[in-house]
Structure 1
């Protein structure tokens, strides 16, 4: 089975951001996507070009066009966010983002009317009905399908970095899960989600997809929801591992890290390098560690079980990518990584708010609503007390106590 690949400009960028619609009285997730999307749809069009339905009617996904750099992607998302936020406000609704909603039960949510999602629920049943989760997906363009699988394989070494930096789902239906990212564990229960299979090349990917389609497991590659995957229609490698980011600052930071990293791997292939292909059990364990401990994880470096603090590995990576960030025009966004390590990732900020308010998770919702408006600025009295300066971080997991 031949899968056509639409070549993209090197390091072109596209970002998808899944937003939650909030009842401002109860702070619960609430339906509103149908009305909002009808409201903002351009006259004569069937749908808005950059705001879409998702599985639940309490979710709207905003997407960029094909962008040349992070600044362009940020401006694109900002315009769509403003449009959606204004339309939501006219209905008494707020807009926020995190990997999960702290208090709302998935069982209370209405499925979107689009046939695709109705069919998904019919096929996957309970697994789909509880997918009340929210993410950020970043596409980075590559020119050749023959680069896609080596880059996907190499990126699995960095999945814990992206997951820990974006982790924003410590709560599930009103309870602290003890995880930094519960979203990642909920999502990987789907039969075609989670870590990618380690394939040998594009022909192996085509053979894999032929098997799935012939067996009627999926209709297309769109239903293979790996944490990182090739996207033939767009000519990209797509990172899907990230929890939903509460601020546009964090979305831009993640996009910069992804763009720089894929750009580096792409150029290494051009120079004749063989990209690393980590062992699957190491990749699986490292993902778990990042989901459980977030930035305080220690990740495995090699088959001998050598470990390193994830904070240290993240800082080393951003230092290595800094020259690429300057060339691609995203140095400022890449520098936000160290700022985030200093003030804490979203899962830490959420727990700090809960602790300061006797466990009241509606205050966590309020904090997320505020962050959507203000960006990545955290008052000193709400910063996690256990978050050290990143250059002096320890790996004692002290920040993982339940709120």
Structure 2
């Protein structure tokens, strides 16, 4: 609250790129409209520096991950904005426990009728994005055994999770109108699908990613997002019909990525063929490299391979916890450090997939 008030320009209601979120302990940082991933990273870095300086003056640090390893959602204060107060009143426990954090990427599309086919096609890459970004193995001081606990916490909201596979824009509008007319939602902003069209911005928004500790990782998922949307947009221009994967495959693959992260084997066809998601990500990067060159994000797309080499955040966090005898305070320190210094040059490639030894059971309470 104090930080955002300090950063608020005189005469303005709020900072243009640093915003309130549901919890008072959270600051949402956004960018303007950017032409390249590098421009978006620079935009984020500028606002992040402002927030970090204001936080430092108060003896506070910044971190970003899908969940905070040790804090309890029950101790968090809700931001005093009418939108959030109404959300908590309506959703109660489901909203109160949303001590989760994500990275959302908007990519522009060139025509409204393309949005739904692109959303449907992007869904097959939910496990790729989730495994790569997974950074929430811990919840209220215990190891959940998942790579992304955030994904499962957020799914509890009635309008969150995988999108419905709709036939086109007309069906999307009908669905939104029904939700609004029946008082299920007030606007499309309350439909928190993992991937959704955003009518106000003319974009497809990928919301599946956990919070990412470094700008390098943000850039990597942004490049992956931009290249995929551009590829699908171009294919539609050429008259192709984009794939609409079966819903059971999408649900199964999302679960596998949330549970096993980069060690997941994902289903790649209706016959039940499985393939390591790690290899699928590498192949996807290779396939998208020509598109990345045209979009001037080849370096950021290559950072996907850097993440695979040093380990996703959930793997790095577990490695720190294991080296600390199961203590999670050093994990928080490592996330603070990564926010300041960037993606580490080495890490637990191959990953730590089991629970961290040491902490007590996960039935509730705080870490020791």
TM-score range, shorter chain: over 0.9
Cross-structure match for 1:400: 353
Cross-structure match for 2:120: 153
Task: Give deviations 1:230-255, integer Å, cap 9, x for gaps.
Answer: 00000000000000000011001110
**What is the aligned counterpart of 1:374 among 333, 337, 341?**
341
**What is the aligned counterpart of 1:92 among 44, 54, 59?**
59
Q: Does 1:215 align with 2:182?
A: yes
Partners of 2:340 and 2:180 in 1: CA distance: 43
Q: Give the aligned CA root-mean-square deviation in angstroms.
A: 0.8
Per the normalisation by structure 1, the TM-score is 0.88
Q: Does 1:58 align with 2:25?
A: yes
Cross-structure match for 2:219: 252
Partners of 1:356 and 1:385 in 2: CA distance: 15
Q: How does 1:3-402 map to 2 (within 5 A)?
A: 34-378=1-345, 380=346, 383-384=347-348, 386-387=350-351, 399-402=352-355
SS at match of 1:94: coil
Runs of 4+ off more than 6 Å: none
Query: Once the 2 structures are TM-superposed, how far is the Cα of residue 57 of structure 1 from its aligned partner?
Result: 0.2
Partners of 2:46 and 2:277 in 1: CA distance: 34
Partners of 1:223 and 1:145 in 2: CA distance: 20
CA 1:385–1:202: 2 relative to 1, 3 Å: closer
Q: Unmatched 5+ residue regions in structure 2?
A: 357-368
Query: Once the 2 structures are TM-superposed, how far is the Cα of residue 385 of structure 1 from its aligned partner?
Result: 6.0
Partners of 1:401 and 1:186 in 2: CA distance: 20
Query: Once the 2 structures are TM-superposed, how far is the Cα of residue 342 of structure 1 from its aligned partner?
Result: 1.0
CA 1:249–1:385: 2 relative to 1, 3 Å: closer
Task: Give deviations 1:33-55, integer Å, cap 9, x for gaps.
Answer: x1101000111111100000000
Query: Once the 2 structures are TM-superposed, how far is the Cα of residue 386 of structure 1 from its aligned partner?
Result: 3.5
Task: Give deviations 1:321-356, integer Å, cap 9, x for gaps.
Answer: 001111111100100111111110000000000000
Per the normalisation by structure 2, the TM-score is 0.96
SS at match of 2:175: helix
Partners of 1:61 and 1:46 in 2: CA distance: 15
Q: Unmatched 5+ residue regions in structure 1?
A: 1-33, 388-398
